[in-house]
Structure formats: structure tokens, C-alpha cells
Structure 1
């Protein structure tokens, strides 16, 4: 089973209270929040240039969809999980293999999705 301790995380969430809750859960799981951003423009910059192990992406950032950020992360082979109140229905078919965390969620739900995301991001063929 994957270990979350020490992993660096980019949090993309436009609601301050939710961002703080996600950051707190990540820290409780042993992760280090590298950055937390609330706008699509900042998220795009972070996705292109920063170093982190995975990302948590809110789907709707004040009316702008986060999918361009997800495309960059996919190209960089960086794992991510979508966080949304819309459920899987709010995620395009292009990202059908991605984990979707339904808001609201518990820390147990969060950990399960993160471990699944990290497990599926490993190259196939590893024994």
C-alpha cells in the first residue's frame, strides 16, 4: 500500500474554508502542501512550473473549469484527484480513468481516493 507521508501536494480550491479543510486533512495524512491556489490562472502557472507529487483539483473554480490544469498534469505524468460536488457526472470522458472525490468527504474517503490514485499512477508491469 502506498504511503502518503512526505508527499508534496498542490491544492486547487476556490472556497477558502474548503481549502483549509483539505489542507488540514492532507497534513493529518502526512502530506506537505506545496501550494494552495484559488484561481485557474494561478493553478495553470503552478501546474506548468512547480514541483509536487500529486494534486487535488476542484472542478469548478469560480465558474472556470479546472480541466486545462488536469491536461497539463496528465502531460507531465503527475497524478491528481478531482474534488467536486457534481460527482463523476461533472468530469469529462477524457478523464474517466481519474479518481473523483465527491464533496463533502471524510478523511477516510480522501485517503482511499488518494491511495487509489497513487496506485493507478504507477507504470503497469511492475511486480
Structure 2
């Protein structure tokens, strides 16, 4: 919390794509505790893609979700210039850096939800620190 009572994610809308119910719930609660509005969690590409609208400020994407990979969501967010990070249990992280570069953070599961919230905050506020 900042000195004026604000939290690090006030007025931010964060999209969550996560097919593990309890992980998605934990992430949602941690983000809300830091002031964010949460969209999701969504467990499939088909349900998440329509939610990638202009109101989304940033996203947390599990890579392997029901029915495939979250790459179409990441691609859409990239096209719109929306920052995102991957929160994944994948062992082969090279595919992510090859496809999206080193600028997209990758958090390897298990990661404490509050650490994910801090990482999203840093991602959103990176341009303020440059």
C-alpha cells in the first residue's frame, strides 16, 4: 500500500488465463488484494479470446490450458501492446523466449500468488521506472 492508501494495482484490469481452478482463484484473490479488477480466470482459448478487449491492462497466462496453448491470446495481447507474463509449469521455456522474446516475464510454477501480483505490477509500471 502506498502512503496515500492506494495499492499497487488500483484501477488495473488483469486478465487471468489458468485452467487449474485453485491456482486461478488464488491469483484472483491476490490481485484483488492489491487493488486490481480481475477478468477471468478463463480455462480455454475460446473463452479467453473475447475477453482480450481494450479494458485489459495486463494478463497472466498459463501456457498449457484446456484444449491447447495460450499462444493465440498472447499474440492478440502483443498486437495490442498489452503487457503479459507467463505463469507455467513447462520445462521447455525456450519455446516462450524464442516466440515472445526476453521481454515477456516467465514465472515457473509453483509461484506464490503475491509474487505474481508483484511481477504484474512491475510489468505495468516498468515504463515509469525507465
Give the alignment's TM-score, normalised by structure 1.
0.81
Q: SS at 1:42's partner residue?
A: helix
Tell me what 1:28 maps to.
33
Contact kept? 1:99, 1:116, Cα under 8 Å: no
Distance 2:20 2:34 in 1: 21
Match of 1:56 among 60, 68, 74: 60
Match of 1:42 among 33, 40, 47: 47
What are structure 2's unaligned runs of at least 5 residues?
A: 1-6
Distance 2:58 2:16 in 1: 9
Please state if 1:69 is matched with 2:73.
yes
What is the deviation of 1:27? 1.0
- Once the two structures are overlaid, the 10-residue window that deviates more, 2-11 or 26-35, is 2-11
How many residue pairs match? The answer is 123
What is the deviation of 1:38? 1.0
Contact kept? 2:8, 2:34, Cα under 8 Å: no
Match of 1:82 among 74, 82, 86: 86
**1:17 and 1:30, CA in 2 relative to 1: closer, same or farther beyond 3 A?**
same
What is the deviation of 1:100? 0.8
Alignment RMSD (CA, Å):
2.5
What are structure 1's unaligned runs of at least 5 residues?
A: none
Distance 2:123 2:96 in 1: 15
Tell me what 1:103 maps to.
109
